[in-house]
Every structure is written in C-alpha cells, then in structure tokens.
Structure 1
Amino acid sequence: MRLSFEPLALSLAALSAVRLRGGFTAGIYAGWAICRGKVFWSRSCFRPASSSVLSRLAAGGCFTEPLSGTVLRYSRRTLRSCEALDWITVMIGGQAGARLARRLGLLVSGSTLLRQLRCRARCAPVVAPRVLDIDDWAWRKGHRYGTILCDLESRRVIDLLPDREAGTVAAWLREHPGSEIVSRDRGGIYAQATRLAAPGAVQVADRWHLLRNLSEALKNALSPHHRLLTQAARSSMGEVPGVVTSPQPSVPPWELRASLRNRERRFSRYEEVHRLGQTGASHAAIGRQLGLDHRTVRKFLRTETFPEAQRSPRPGIVDPYAEYLDRRLEQGCRNVSRLWRELRERGFTGQLNIVRRWLRCRRGYQPTSAAAAPHRAAPRISVRQTVWHILKETPSAQTYLEQVYQASPEVSVAAKLAKEFFRLITQRDLPALTPWFEAAKTTALAGFASHLTRDRDAVEAALKLPWSQGQVEGHVHRLKLIKRQMYGRAGFDLLRLRVLHTA
C-alpha cells in the first residue's frame, strides 16, 4: 500500500525485502515522514528485486524503529485509517462501506471491513449497569424476537440477545451480576428471568405499558356494548366528532356482488372460528389453521353476533370539483371525457378512469339544493375511539359519553375507574393505588386489577421511581433501521457489533 502525502523532510531509514513467488519482492521502505506536524509511516508497493540487493541486505544489519501511536507492527494501515474504516463499517456496513472507502481513496473489500470490525470489537467487555432496562425487538414481527439491554443512566445499549427466552436472559444476568434496578415491560418473561437470576433487584414496570394494558382492558369491557355505543352515537349525531356530512352514493352492481362474496367468505370464517373455539383450541392454533391473524380470531370469539365490515368514507381527489360536476350534470352533460378535460383545465391531476368511477356512483342520487337540509351519513364510532374519548376526556364527545353512561351504569363505573387509573399513573399518585384496587374488584376491570395485583411491587416501583422504557424504545427504533440497512443478509453477530459500536 502506498501512502501519498507532501512531506517537509524524508530520510530513508532502512530497506528490507523478502523474495516472493515469481522473482518479485515485497519491498518496504520504512522512513520518517514529517507532514503537517505529524509523523507518518511510509511503505512502498511490490517491486522486483535483484540478487545484488538481497546480498547487500543479508550482509548488513538493517533495522527500523517502531512508531507507536501511528502504526502497529506488521500492519498495512495506519491507526487513523483503521479507525476511519471501522466507523464506515459501523455506520453503513460492509459492501456499502467498501464503495464509500474506494471513493475516499482507501482500497478495501467489504469482507475485510467486516473481519476488521469483528477482530477489533472482540475485546469489548460487557459490564452490568446499576439501572438495567430490558425490552424485546422483532426479527420478524409476530414470529421471532430478540432482547435488547440498555443502561438507563448512561443511555447506552450494552448488549443484544438473539431471543427473548427467560433462560437466556437469566443466564446473562448471572454472568453479569450487579444490577440493582431492572426496568421492563408488562410481559412475564423478563419478570421471571429477573426473579430467577437477580432476586434482589427492584423491578420497575413501564408506565406506558400500564396505560396500554388499561386501554385494552377498557376496550374488552366495552366490546359487548357495541350496539349501545352505536345507538348513543346516532342520538348525539351532531356532537360526535368525525361525522361527515356527505351524500349517499349508489353502489355499482359489480362492487355490490364483490361485497357480497367477501361477506360470505368472512361469515364462513367467523362460523369456523367459533366452531374451533368450542373445541378448546388456542387463538394461535385457530389462526394457523384458517390463515387468520390471532387478533382477528380473538375479535371473532369475543363477539356474539357477526361483525359487519364497515367502510369509512374517504375523501377523493374529485371531491373538490363536486360542485362544478353537479352543475354540469344538471345542465345535461353526460360525456365523461369532456368533463375530464374541463376538470384538467381547472387544475385536476387525476386520470379519466377516476372521474368515470366517481360519476358512476354520483349519478345514483339527485343533487340537493342549497335550501334543503343536508343528508348526514350514519354516525359510526368504534370501541377504540370511545376508549380514547373516555381517557382523554374529549370535550366534543361529552354529550355522546353522557348518553352512554346513562344507558349503561356498568360502562359508567368502568369508565370512572379507568380515568382514575389514568390519572394516578400520569401523576404518579401512589397513595391512590390501594383504594383503586379495592374499587375495581367487582367491576368490568376486575381481571385487569387481578393481573396488576400479581405484579404490584413493580407497579408501585413505577410510581415511586423515575425510570421508564422511553430510552430503550428509541434504541429499538435505531436497531430496526440498522437491521433493514443490512437487507436481512447479515447475521446476529454483525448486527450486535453495529448496534453496540454505534451506541
């Protein structure tokens, strides 16, 4: 390798050569190179050697003085070049790093970059932090997961594990003792591993996961009352947010036939899910057998009646020109191509087929006059939206919620308890936790309260200590970015090195 620089002074110190195959020698000119106030090490490339040169080298003693801090013995690159290549590999990987290094004048292959990174990172020790955060990350969502461990005090990733088994996490905790506080999510895997390997550590449940568990529990409590929610939304149609005033378009025959076929297929799956559920099969087993997601299976099993598919109206790119098209239709124009060209003159960017489909649905109703009362679409509000309005206390939905509470005292009590739990978690009101447990024992949130009781120490620690999993979620996001940069071709060892060195 040849180092190019502009030296102020250069003195040849030694010349050593070793004969190689084919009559060439690897000639190494070792000398002091003073450039810009720094000392460099210079070597030449392969050169042919004569017998006279070899005899003179054998007769005389040639030696070189090592340059510590600039280049290692028997090294082909300076330390600064190695450091630059390491950072290139860490940031963008092997092949992409080789292409960038070639642009910068450093000739190296992608395999060499990865090998150099693995060799240099092998000696990095892992020290257990005082405050440890454990969370999972997805190799493939819903199928395979790993574990990430972070130091909450230094805000750094300290290690990655290839799976999220309790035995793997417990083995790591035994090999790295010393953690006093362990922050985790609400899953039982990490709680079990911490109890086995670090029984003296204080476990802290993540507050965001507690609120997420609350919303899921409230959603399950409201699911049996979906008819009640629909009736309340219709009675308070003017107050429900998200209700759009729009005309009712007619459905084309081909779209109606396709909709009926889809409904028949969903209904047969719904009946099959209930039949398999009566046999005691798990949600995952039913999903694998029928090709459904486990969340869809759970939704089907929790509903007593078939949940009809609801299409929410979405604004299209033709809607801003609806007034003009209505006026042209009233004037008797039925030529779609002509209407499309007129819209193009007014700034419309869509194609002809979009206008044709829009007009096909639009011609099924009569445009209303300005004095006539507008037709309102049937109000639809989901259970999840209701949970959001309850916990956030949305001002525009108070009329709707009051009607729901009046129609069902059970929902009213559950909503009151949910808002109280939301308040004590956000405000970290520890004294209010025990009365909440007592009040929730006989309500629709009794199952949620029972699960919290089993992990009560971690819940109380979440209200007393400031630690949470906000930091590790950011590290997981960065890990996913690095994983996708490698296109799935690299293994766990390289992913671990890149994540740890970037941190």
Structure 2
Amino acid sequence: MVRGTLLPSTSEVELVCLRPRTGLIEVELRTSRPFSCCPVCGTASRRVHSRYLRRLGDLPWEGIPVSILLQTRKFFCVVETCRRRIFTEPLSGTVLRYSRRTLRSCEALDWITVMIGGQAGARLARRLGLLVSGSTLLRQLRCRARCAPVVAPRVLGIDDWAWRKGHRYGTILCDLESRRVIDLLPDREAGTVAEWLREHPGSEIVSRDRGGIYAQATRLAAPGAVQVADRWHLLRNLSEALKNALSPHHRLLTQAARSSMGEVPGVVTSPQPSVPPWELRASLRNRERRFSRYEEVHRLGQTGASHAAIGRQLGLDHRTVRKFLRTETFPEAQRSPRPGIVDPYAEYLDRRLEQGCRNVSRLWRELRERGFTGQLNIVRRWLRCRRGYQPTSAAAAPHRAAPRISVRQTVWHILKETPSAQTYLEQVYQASPEVSVAAKLAKEFFRLITQRDLPALTPWFEAAKTTALAGFASHLTRDRDAVEAALKLPWSQGQVEGHVHRLKLIKRQMYGRAGFDLLRLRVLHTA
C-alpha cells in the first residue's frame, strides 16, 4: 500500500471523477491495467468478459467520509485446458476479495481496534469519518490479524495474570532481551506451560516468581534451562516469614512501643477522635464473633485437623487459621479510628458548650470563620455523639492514645533499619533473644540479596537452621539453584510485571468483550 496518495493504488486504478454527495464524497475509479492474470494457471488475458461496479469505503478526507465506486472487470482465461474459464480481475493492492473497504481503510481500522478496542475504537473512527460499529471492528480483527510464529527466546520471563483475582488466572511469557510479550496462555497450569515449552524449545534462562507451578513446568519441559528466582519476591517472602516469626510476640511489641512512646514512627498522639456509640457496639459484636472463631480454631487444631480443613469448616482463609494457631493469646484487631475533620476544633467546641451555646448553626458558622471546611450536618452529628457519652469540661486535657505498632510496621523498621525506631527495636531485642536472632538473620539476608553477595548465602543457611526463620530457609533450600542464579544473573521479573500491568489496562478497556483470542491479539500487536 502506497501512503500519501489520492488513490488507493495508482498502479491498479485510475480516477474517473469526483462527486460531492450529502455527507460524503463519492470517488469513481476504474481499473487501469490492460490485462489480468488467471489466478489458477497464471496466464495473462486481455479478453474482457464483463464489467461491474463495487462500492467500497475508503479513508476519510478531512473527516468527511469517502465512498468509492470501482469499475472492475471479469476476464476469459485463454488457456483451453484451464479449469477456470472466467475470473475476476484481482486488485491485491487496492481491495481484498469480497471486502467492502479498501486495504488502507482496513489497516487503519485494525490499528484503531488493536490500540483502544471495539466500542472505543468505533467512537473514535466515527469522529474521524470512518463509519463502523464496534462488533465489526472486533470481527475484522479476528479475521485479519494473524500473530507471527512464536519463537522461544533465549531469556524467558514467566508470570501469571488475573482474569478474575482469586478465581481464574492466565500466563504471560516475555522475551526479556527484546522486552516484549511473545505469547499468552489461558491458564497457569503446569501442564499447559510445560506443553508450550516443549513446542518452543530453545530457552536457556527462565526467570520466574517464587511459585512452584512454573518451576515444575520448567523442570519437566526444559530441564537444561537455568531458573532464576525473582529477587523482589525473595525479599517479600523474607518479610512474610519475619512477620510470622514476630506474630506470637505482639504483646511484647506493644509494651516496647509504650515504653519508647514518641520515638516510634506511627504512634498515635493526637486527641482521641469521637466515635459514635453505635459504632462501639458494632465493634464489640465483631470482636465477640472473631473471638469465638479463634477459640473454635484452637479446638479443632487440637484434634489434628489441617489448616485447610479447619478453614473449609469455619469459612476462614487458611492463612487466618495459621495465624490463629500460631498465637497463644487472642490477637486483637489493630484498628484505630481515624480522626475526623471536626476533631481539631474539639477544644473550642467543648469550651463553647460549657459557656451554654447549643445552637448548632451558630457553632458551625464560628468554625467556618476558623477555617473549618465541612458541612453543618457533620458538626451536628459530632456534637450529638459528644454530648451523648463524653464530658464537656473545658479543663479536660486531650486524651493521649495508647501507642500501638503493628507486626508489619516492626518488620519494616527491622529490614530498613529506620533510625527513629532504634530505641524501640533495642528494647524488643533485649526482651526477646529469639526476636533478636531472627531480626539479625533477616537483615543479613536482605543485605546479601540487595548486594548480590553469593558467598554469604551458604553461611546464612547454616545459621538459620535452628531459628524462627528455619521454615523460610528450608523452602529456599529446595529452590537453591534458582536463588543462587538470582544473585549471579541480572535478570528479574520487573519488566514482566510491567507487561502484566499493560495487559490489565487492555483487558479493562475491552469491558465484557475481552475474550482470550481478542485479548491475545491486542496484547501481542501493541507490544
């Protein structure tokens, strides 16, 4: 196709005339070649059988739709032994057989569909002067777009992506050297991935996350490939293992936070926000229900039932069951109510209430003069709760919330060695040597991963065998070759995660029309 010309193909057609019509421009063309070749025997023929008109859609001119009337011909084949006696003149550079649009118009619509989808593509095409529906665009893309043959890359990146998070997943495969997606699979089963690897041999390095599905598929179908565990996932597994090791010591963490109040980031020191009584009652009901589940989990755990079996019986996630069984005391929900927009003016409102002012509208106007941006009903609701269960003494000192720090925050402070939390961490280490040893090993593993210190890996495994991180070290030992490759090779899952993000954007653009075949075409063509 020649770009930038008035006619679709100057070697095949010539202009007869232009006619303006209502809402469009009509262009009449006719074929210009003196002969045509038989599609069966290839013999050139000048014997014209008949002529007929074809109406085609073309690219718009300045947003005005263009309709083409094409005068084309049928020829006799001059070879008597040819089975094709009459044939239509082929115009491979202008239009395909049975098509109602020129090649360049179809190509423009294909790119619009690939980039922004069916319905959105149809809206854009109409604004540009290409009259087409979303269903037609998707149907045309299915018929015309053909993906290039997939060739296995030398460095392959594998990861999963969610059709519906928690229920259905697919697999994305990327060439890490050329930084592009090479294929999509409709599920993340080990058998499906192994079959793809057998059909496309040649990958020397396979980068993956810490899941066992892709490791198993690679061992089955590409045993000679070097597997590389993603370093970010290794550090995430480390933080989860350290969190599980610290979970039984949550009371110790709370006591250390109270003794070092004001020095631990995240400690709440603002005035206690107003909580309506009905919210307090709902919170108590939720705690009672959660506590009964906690006791039931421990009762079933003493019978020897597995975590999954207990979760199915009680309707809990297996991770929640594991957390309940690992703690000796009931883990309170660590949720602190967020301060409302009226709380900064609590002292002023209490003073006005003591002075006898009960007019909500007047109090609201006074707050507006002091910079308050909320509405009248917010102040009315706050005052109703305040008068209902809190004293209104102006001399009452602001209540200082009891400092609390979550296990996850403690893990962050340990791994990042937060300077402002050192006093808090030292008190935790002094109170529990077990936590001190686990934190030391976690920081060492964090260092050797970030600095790629391969010689330090073996001593770390030996040191972790008898600590709270023994389970984490045991899992790493089973995948040790991939962990060592992660420290030696530069490959990671970073760009694969980026392609997964792009895939999610494309899938959401397609609304309910994101079938696997269309999604695969769009992802591969926009790579």
Query: Into which bin does the TM-score normalised by the smaller protein fall?
Result: 0.7 to 0.9
Aligned CA distance change for structure 1 residues 381 and 55 (closer, same or farther; 3 Å): closer
Q: Does the 8 Å CA contact 1:245/1:374 hold for their aligned counterparts?
A: no
> Are the counterparts in 2 of residues 250 and 365 from structure 1 also a CA contact under 8 Å?
no
For 1:97-116, list aligned pairs within 5 A: 97-116=121-140
1:279 to 1:224, Cα distance in 2 relative to 1, 3 A: same
Structure 1: distance between partners of 2:399 and 2:366: 28
Partner of residue 340 from structure 1, selected from 357, 364, 375? 364
Task: Give the conservation status (yes or no) of the 8 Å contact 2:272–2:339.
Answer: no
Deviates more, 1:321-330 or 1:165-174: 321-330
- Is the 8 Å Cα contact of residues 354 and 393 (structure 2) preserved in structure 1? no
CA deviation vs aligned residue, 1:460-500 (integer Å, no higher than 9, x gap)? 10001000000011111111111222224432111111111
1:319 to 1:39, Cα distance in 2 relative to 1, 3 A: same
Q: How many residue pairs align between the two structures? A: 464
Query: 1:352 offset after TM fit, Å?
Result: 3.1
Output the CA distance in 2 between the equivalents of 1:273 and 1:80. 66
Does structure 2 conserve the Cα–Cα contact (< 8 Å) formed by 1:249 and 1:364? no
- Deviation of 1:43 after TM superposition, in Å, equals 13
How far off is 1:57 after superposition?
A: 21
Secondary structure, in 3 states, of the residue corresponding to 2:423? helix
Cα offset, 1:52, TM superposition: 12
Q: Deviation per CA, 1:90-109, whole angstroms, max 9, x where unpaired?
A: 12222222222122221223
Shift of 1:319: 2.9
**Partner secondary structure for residue 173 of structure 2:** strand
User: What's the CA shift for 1:150?
Assistant: 0.5
Aligned equivalents of 2:474 and 2:268: distance in 1? Answer: 41
Conserved in 2, the CA contact under 8 Å of 1:230 and 1:380? yes
Secondary structure of the 1:434 match is helix
Contact 2:438 2:467 in 1 (8 A): yes
Aligned-CA RMSD value: 4.0
Q: CA deviation at 1:249?
A: 5.6
Match of 2:81 in 1: none
**Shift in CA distance, 42/436, structure 1 to aligned 2, threshold 3 Å:** closer
Give me the identity figure in percent. 97
Query: Equivalents in 2 of 1:422, 1:36: separation in Å?
Result: 56
Instruction: Give CA deviations for 1:214-239 in whole Å, capped at 9, x if unaligned.
Output: 00111111111111111111111121
**Counterpart-to-counterpart distance in 2, 1:203 and 1:53:** 63
Change (3 A) 1:213 1:57: closer
Structure 1 distance, partners of 2:434, 2:369, is 58
Partner of 2:9: 42
Moved more, 376-385 or 63-72: 63-72
- Against the structure 1 CA distance between its residues 56 and 267, is the aligned structure 2 distance closer, same or farther, given a 3 Å change threshold? closer
SS at structure 1 position matched to 2:401: coil
Deviations 1:20-73 (A, max 9, x none): xxxxxxxxxxxxxx999626149999999xx99999999xxxx99766545445
What's the CA shift string for 1:240-298, capped at 9, x where partnerless?
Answer: 11223233467554333322222222222223333444455554554444343443333
Q: Which runs of 5+ in 1 are unaligned?
A: 1-33
TM norm structure 2: 0.79
Moved more, 123-132 or 70-79: 70-79
Q: What is the TM-score with the length of structure 1 in the denominator?
A: 0.83
| Counterparts of 1:86 and 1:95, CA distance in 2 | 13
Change (3 A) 1:395 1:199: same
Deviation at 1:201, TM superposition (A): 0.4
**How far is the alpha carbon of 1:442 from its aligned partner?**
1.2
Q: Does 1:475 align with 2:447?
A: no
Greater displacement, 262-271 / 446-455: 262-271
TM-aligned CA distance change 1:53 to 1:295, over 3 Å = closer
Q: Which residue of 1 aligns with 2:157?
A: 133
Greater mean alpha carbon deviation, residues 273-282 or residues 195-204 = 273-282
Unaligned runs of 5+ in 2: 12-16, 21-49, 58-86
Any idea what the Cα deviations from partners look like across 1:120-139, whole Å, max 9, x if unmatched? 33352111111000001111
